[in-house]
Chain A
Amino acid sequence: MKGFTKTVFVTVLCLVSVTSALAVLPDEILSDPVLETRAREISKELRCVVCQNQAIDDSNAPLARDMRILVRDRLVAGDSDVQVKNYLVARYGNFVLLRPPVKPDTIILWFGPLVFLVIAFVGFGLYLRKTKSHSIAAPQPLSSEEQEQLRDVSGGTS
């Protein structure tokens, strides 16, 4: 029984000590914590061009690692955050940015959903107005003939 408790204890310990692994390897990390933080922030906005839907900050692809090192090299060399991003955009195009800039060729990407939302609202509004005029119109008063019929079925009490 003692061995069993030990096993459970070790298993639980293993499970709770698990955290998600960093793609950034120890040898990449800069000694200057300010620069390292900036590098991490920039890396989160840059696309891994091999895997395409991951940021280089959390990609294990070899090219992503080389790009992370390049970002750090340029920061150490004194580049601003914008200069680092522009350096990669000049070579890979806007595609390398996970958040594309608003430009003539990305207008559909940015505002397309808004256009669809407006169309949906307008369509829904028109639909509401149409159904309203059909079904929720004020009831017509009974004609004299109908009143006579009503009197007949209710036994002449009304």
Chain B
Amino acid sequence: MRLNAFIPLFILGLVSVGLAVGLTNDPRKLPSAMIDQPLPDFNLPPVRAEENGFKRKDIDGKVALINVFASWCIACRVEHPTLMRLSKENRIALYGVDWKDTRSDGAAWLNAFGDPFIRVGEDQNSKLAIELGVTGAPETFVIDRTGRIRYKQIGPITEDVWTDTIEPLILALENEAAL
């Protein structure tokens, strides 16, 4: 038995391990360049005409979540019950950005499924979305008291994501600011 005969098998093993590692990466999960960057200034018009819209000043000094959603976004319906619960239980200051949507569709969506947000604004032309580096919906940004982006959740906030990632982070940020 020549040892050389095992070389192809060895190479196959190496390639298999490499591919196996590669398969566990989700290509949709992109690194965010905006982590630890200050939240840009913005002033979004309201989705429902009688409301106030959403501007940067609204969250000054608060630990807050900014949720990017849309009526065309199916995954947003998945996370919506979680957002409604968090809002009812007053767990976090929750703000909404209705992205690339018409006002009437956005308003109908909020009326149909409920409105968990303190303030909601609409961003039809991606002005704020591009500032934030949004690549899809839903995406949720965690903002600290000094107005910096500390975390970006890509995809729906499920109960697991909330208890494992976002809630601990928010508690840490609230303590951080109390010092």
Contact = CB atoms under 8 A, between A and B. Distances in A.
A107 B30 CA distance: 19
Interface string B13-40: 0000000000000010011111000000
Interface stretch (A2-10, A66-74, A132-140, A146-154): A66-74
Contact of B130 (A52, A66, A93, A95): A66
A91 interface: yes
A93 B125 contact: no
B100 A49 contact: no
Contacts of A91: 33-34, 130-133
Contacts, number: 43
A62 interface: yes
A63 interface: yes
Contacts of A52: 27
Interface residues of B, dominant DSSP: loop
B129 A63 contact: yes
Contact of A66 (B31, B33, B126): B126
Contact of A63 (B27, B33, B34, B126): B126
A31 B92 CA distance: 47
B135 A92 contact: yes
Interface in A81-96: 88-93, 95
B135 A49 contact: yes
Contact of A62 (B27, B100, B133): B100
A52 B32 CA distance: 15
B30 A49 contact: yes
A76 to B, nearest CB: 15
B136 interface: yes
A70 B136 CA distance: 17
A63 B131 CA distance: 12
A23 interface: no
A120 interface: no
Contacts of A66: 100, 125-126, 129-130
Contacts of A63: 100, 126, 129-130, 134-135
Contacts of B136: 50
Interface string B123-149: 001100111111110000000000000
Nearest to A90: B33
A124 B30 CA distance: 39
A91 B32 CA distance: 8
A93 B31 contact: yes
Nearest to A48: B135
B130 A70 contact: yes
15 contacts: A49-B30, A49-B135, A50-B136, A63-B129, A63-B135, A67-B126, A69-B125, A89-B33, A90-B33, A91-B34, A91-B132, A93-B30, A93-B31, A93-B32, A93-B133
CB-based closest 6 A-B pairs: A66-B126, A93-B33, A91-B133, A49-B135, A92-B133, A62-B100
